[in-house]
A and B are shown apart, each in its own frame.
Chain A
Amino acid sequence: MDWRPATEDDHVAGVPARFVAAPGSTEEASELLRAAAAHDFAVVVRGGGTKLGWGPPPRRLDLIVDTHRLTGVVEHAAGDLITVLRAGTPLSTLDFGSQQLALDSPLPGATVGGSVAANISGPRRMLYGTARDLLIGITVVRPGGTVAHSGGKVVKNVAGYDLGKLFTGSYGTLGLITECAFRLHPVPPARAVVTRTVPASGLGALLAAVRDEQVVPSAVEVDRPPDGEVTVAVLVEGTAEGVRDRAARLEKVLGGQIGEPPSWWGAYPWQPGGTGLKLTAALSKVPDLVEAAAETGIRGSAGTGVLYAAVGSDQDAPRIVERLRAETVRAGGHTVVLTAPAEVRQAVDMWGPVPGLDLMRRVKDQFDPGHHFAPGRFVGGI
């Protein structure tokens, strides 16, 4: 087992750890978590460290479990379009040749496990879905060291509860993810992006026109700088002939231009260390939300209703979060403060109101009765 006392770099959202341990296998992780439980350690899992500043700080922290030794492709069955990956594997290192794990990550350096645990998604979620849709099996180590699997290595499978979905987006509060099995997709031979910039008031008509066209976009992204106009960028992927035709049709209905993805494509709008929001809305309310977000600007998947905004001013953050939260609630969605500087964290409710909290607490109590895993990092103080 690789372990060491923590250094001053080993903190989670400002809370220092005492130890850092890096298990090299699921078995080692099990042994480690058994010992951690025996010593009543509070644990936070760290992958690439790209989202350690996300969520509220842990209430307490003794041990960081680092997954940098849990790396590699366990299996790539090309004919079956599946792969099994160790959780610490950086997404950027994956290469499946003519196949792909269709999980866009806005964060270079993010690991498989971290991306699943934080439910990261990017532009092409519109066609391929998110981690929850691509994940077909998972191996976890529960607080206390019990190793458990669910799902498997075949895409179609309804045997038993789907714990993969429960762990997706659980922010490390239920245990350590050590392996993930995913379905893969073929890499399409051709792609094209069609863009058009319009005043925010014109967005609704453009989005409706794209929907009507039956060209099956892989992504419909928007970007609006503060007080600026909105750029719509639509990605189509497929055969060379098919993409040519689809892009030409989009060019016509959008009155836009065929070209490369714009520079902002698939990137979060905030600066490192800044305040970043995730805003969700029912599809029909996306234009309203984009209009309402003039002050901060907004970017993201207009094709699915999952957008992001940066808050530039720390002083104004509470007011802005409150206003956008009211807006997204009206739009059938939520506003989550993904990351923020310490002053902003203290001044806002990062997660906001969440339905079903009572059941969520009961789930947490079952999986982590001692509340050792990432205590306080999740919704409702879980």
Chain B
Amino acid sequence: MTSLEELAAGLRTALGSDRVVSDRVELRTYECDGLAHYKVTPGLVVLPRDAGECARTVAACVAAGVPFVARGSGTGLSGGALPHADGVLIVTAKMRDILEVAPADERAVVQPGVINLQVTRAATAHGYYYAPDPSSQQICSIGGNVAENSGGAHCLKYGFTTNHVLGAEIVTPDGDLVELGGRAPDTPGYDLLGAFVGSEGTLGIATRVTVRLTRLPESVRTLLAAFATTDAAGAATSAIIAAGVVPAAVEMMDALAIEAAEAAVACGYPPGAGAVLIVELDGPAAEVAAQFAQVTALCEANGATELRIAADDAERALFWKGRKSAFAAVGRISPDYIVQDGVIPRTALPEVLHRIGEVAGAHGVRVANVFHAGDGNLHPLVLFDAATDGEAERAEEVSGAIIDLCIEYGGSITGEHGVGTDKAKYMPRMFTDDDLETMQLLRCAFDPAGLANPGKIFPTPRLCGEVPRRHSASDAPAPAEIF
């Protein structure tokens, strides 16, 4: 038997055969996550039902020297959950119990397979919700959110997953169960939880997560504003921020993205608009009323051609429908597309959009722009037809050039989708070798054998057995020289 076959046999005995998938056809259903052009059939899939089973699975992998990859709902967009051909894919989808909703503590405790939106649904009756709201919130899991430090449209005001996770039980890459953080804030010691959130499955697997619940806002008001150009919409955004308003969300779509959304979900955006902004304010009623008047005036002053104010939740949902379905919607206007995720300083928005336009034009491909305008998080959708010779390559070049622009303007190669498999190659453009080596010290502390999601984030893995650079007195100046 191969080591994987032995591992499978052992896990079947230990956990029960329904937990282990080794049928080739069934394995192929796990070959990719939300970034479908990377495909690897996993060597084995295990679906643990609880933390103990998850820990035993990891321990078995460690004993066999087999790599493992964690996967939640498989909605990730950077190939973070891309399986390892000779490894085990540990799927947390069966660990989906909400263990506790504690409104008096403003906390909920959930298993990693719980769907993001279910947390909010469970909390709403108590007057609370779970703030991070990635567009995939109807299907993405809390465990995946923790791994990716997921954001969402409302993170401009409310922050990211990392600001809303207070505690976690994790299986370390040694197979041990360890508690990080807790129900109260500021657990003494290193903030390992802060380091764990967003580590893309390379530091272990969360098996139980304590999240912060946020009091529902008393009032929510949403505005849809049409502009002739993205420049005008960008100027309105800048004016809102400069006025000291922190909206819950400021989202922008350009003409091509509007066209796609209209074709897909008939969201009724103003026809012919060069750009639309969705601005949402929430909070105490008197506060929202005062600021909403300000925001409306600023949109008008910056050339809004049409303003619509959501009269009720249904109309608000319609405004958001166009935005939240934008990625899938471009499928209506293009056979293939790449979803890019990059960040620029918000003030560079008009300039960067023009340069994206130039790059796209030069390569003969179209780019639809959808973004979180408030925080400069771009999601350009590079459209192409794989059936046309060379177009996929050109689209890939444009997509890469956009990332270069983000770096050039002092931004980031990813705002919320993660580095994963897709962007490891860009990491050296944003960070020095020393930066990357330093980050990997953390990985070596958690995972000296390098078995947890290997090959993700870092283009060049550091061997943890390497002796740290030693300094001897003979190759350094004496104190008197240096001081």
Q: Which residues of A contact B (CB under 8 A)?
A: 1, 3, 19, 21, 31-32, 34-35, 37-40, 77-82, 98, 119, 121, 129-130, 132-133, 140, 142, 144-150, 152-163, 165-166, 168-170, 174, 185-189, 208, 211-212, 214-216, 238-246, 278, 280-284, 304-306, 328, 331-334, 336, 351-352, 354-360, 362-363, 365-367, 369, 378-380
Contacts and interface: CB of A to CB of B under 8 A. Distances in A.
B192 A35 contact: no
A367 B195 CA distance: 14
Given A140-B438, A356-B179, A365-B445, 9 more contacts: A1-B483, A39-B476, A129-B163, A156-B343, A304-B185, A332-B183, A352-B188, A359-B178, A363-B190
B431 A77 contact: no
Interface residues of B, number: 103
A83 B347 CA distance: 14
B148 A281 contact: no
A215 B287 CA distance: 9
Contacts of B187: 280, 334, 354-355
A178 B142 CA distance: 35
Nearest to B179: A355
Contacts of A78: 242
Interface string B465-477: 0001101110111
B287 A169 contact: no
Contacts of A31: 482
A355 B191 CA distance: 11
Nearest to B480: A3
Contacts of A360: 189-190, 192
A109 B172 CA distance: 40
B227 interface: no
B344 A154 contact: yes
Contact of A157 (B215, B415, B443): B415
Max count, chain A CB within 10 A of own CB: residue among B102, B188, B441, B472:
B188
Contact of B410 (A154, A356, A365): A154
B469 A144 contact: yes
A154 B343 contact: yes
Contacts of A154: 343-345, 375-376, 410-412, 415
B216 interface: yes
Interface stretch (B39-47, B103-111, B313-321, B388-396): B103-111
Contacts of A82: 345
B197 to A, nearest CB: 8
A283 B106 contact: yes
Given A38-B472, A159-B430, A357 B184 contact: no
Nearest to B172: A359
Contacts of B346: 79-80
A98 B246 CA distance: 13
Interface stretch (B21-29, B50-58, B154-162, B299-307): B154-162
Contact of B476 (A34, A306, A363): A34
Identify the interface centre among A243, A245, A355: most chain B CB within 10 Å of its CB: A355
B423 to A, nearest CB: 8
Nearest to A151: B412
Nearest to A78: B242
Contact of B416 (A133, A148, A156, A242): A156
B414 interface: yes
